[in-house]
Structure formats: C-alpha cells, structure tokens
Chain A
Amino acid sequence: SQKIEQNSEALNIQEGKTATLTCNYTNYSPAYLQWYRQDPGRGPVFLLLIRENEKEKRKERLKVTFDTTLKQSLFHITASQPADSATYLCALGMNTGFQKLVFGTGTRLLVSP
C-alpha cells in the first residue's frame, strides 16, 4: 500500500541546535517533494520544493535532501529558534504539472529556549 510516514512523536530540541525531520514514502514515485509548516488552527505555509533530480536544496536556515533510492527526504532547520516550533508536513507531487499533493501526517517540532 502507499504510505508517507513522518515521525508521529514530537521532536523536542534546544534552541540553537539543528532539528532534523524525516519523511519516508512507500509505493510512490514523486516528481517532487515539498515541505510545509503548519501552526495550530492555520493552513500550511510552503517552505521548500525539491525535485526528483535534485539531491539538496537550501533556503536560509533550512535544508532539504531527497534520496529517491531510499525514498526519503530529510528536512533540517539549523540554529533553531522557539519561533520554529510548529508542525512540519512533507507532501509528494506525482507529476511535474503541479497537480494534487499527497501529504504526510506531519511532525511536531518543539524548540525550547
């Protein structure tokens, strides 16, 4: 069956450390993968996109890797801040035409001062 798995348990880290979140998928062949941030009671906010032929993408304190052999994406936040506390969702795009996304369940990140 098709699955997108993210750590269901919350990730607790100290301010200043690097947070690493994992997204694993099964029986999908995505053309691209996206990461979103979602705060309680709000819609997701787009962070980064990485395509199937890209290994790594960076944006400010964020870094995403994409390994299509392992069927895994890692999402890193360096120098984490309490304001980074939120739920982070990965989403797979099945074709390059930017149609529908399939979302993972999300991982809650808590950054302590």
Chain B
Amino acid sequence: GAVVSQHPSRVICKSGTSVKIECRSLDFQATTMFWYRQFPKQSLMLMATSNEGSKATYEQGVEKDKFLINHASLTLSTLTVTSAHPEDSSFYICSARRTGTDGYTFGSGTRLTVV
C-alpha cells in the first residue's frame, strides 16, 4: 500500500529557532502533498498545499513566510517553521494520495513543542 513517512516524530526547540519537518512518499510519486496542523481535541486544519516544482498554496490566515514549504522532488516535501514561538506548538501532519486510490495517506505526524 501507499506509505508516507514523516520525520521527526517529535521535536522540542527553543523559541526563535527554526524547525524542518520532512514528508516522504516511499512507494509512490506525489506531485501534491498537503500539510495540516492539529491542536489537542480539535480537527485537522489544512495549512497549505505543496506542489512539486512550484510554489505552495497557503490557506487563508497561514503565514507563508513563517511556514516555508519546499517540494523539490516527487517524493519529498518539507515544512520549515521559522522563528518558532510557543503558540506554534502543535501536531503537524502531511498527506498525499497515490493515483488510483480513494483515500489519502497520512504521515505519522510531528509533535512540535516550542519552549
């Protein structure tokens, strides 16, 4: 089946530093990947759509200069949280869909804690 690997699973960083999260499709090519954020007991909120070889599309209210997305290959998208603050602490999840399948495959998520 389709597998999406996300790394790291947990990260703690100091306020003001940047953190990079990787999302890889292991056994299929993904021209489009999606990045979500989930706060405790809340729904997944789409942050941005990552497009291979072009600029990401950000949802309303998401700062593109703070959440940098790079989709440099057909199997890798990265999300960099720049100048992180405690309010950026959340669960970040990526997803992609393998052509020909009905559902999206999600990564296992990254728990970001900014101290």
Contact = CB atoms under 8 A, between A and B. Distances in A.
- A and B: interacting chains: yes
B95 interface: yes
A18 B109 CA distance: 30
A40 to B, nearest CB: 10
Contact of B104 (A46, A104, A105): A46
A99 interface: yes
Contacts of B97: 98
A41 B109 contact: yes
Interface residues of A, number: 22
A101 B46 CA distance: 8
A45 B44 CA distance: 13
Interface in B23-45: 32, 34, 36, 41-45
Interface residues of B, number: 25
B44 A49 contact: no
A106 B106 CA distance: 16
B103 A49 contact: yes
Given A49-B103, A98-B97, A100-B34, A43 B46 contact: no
A42 interface: yes
A82 interface: no
A74 interface: no
A45 B1 CA distance: 12
B77 interface: no
Interface of A: 4, 34, 36, 41-49, 89, 98-106
**4 closest A-B pairs (Cβ-Cβ)?**
A46-B103, A43-B106, A49-B102, A105-B43
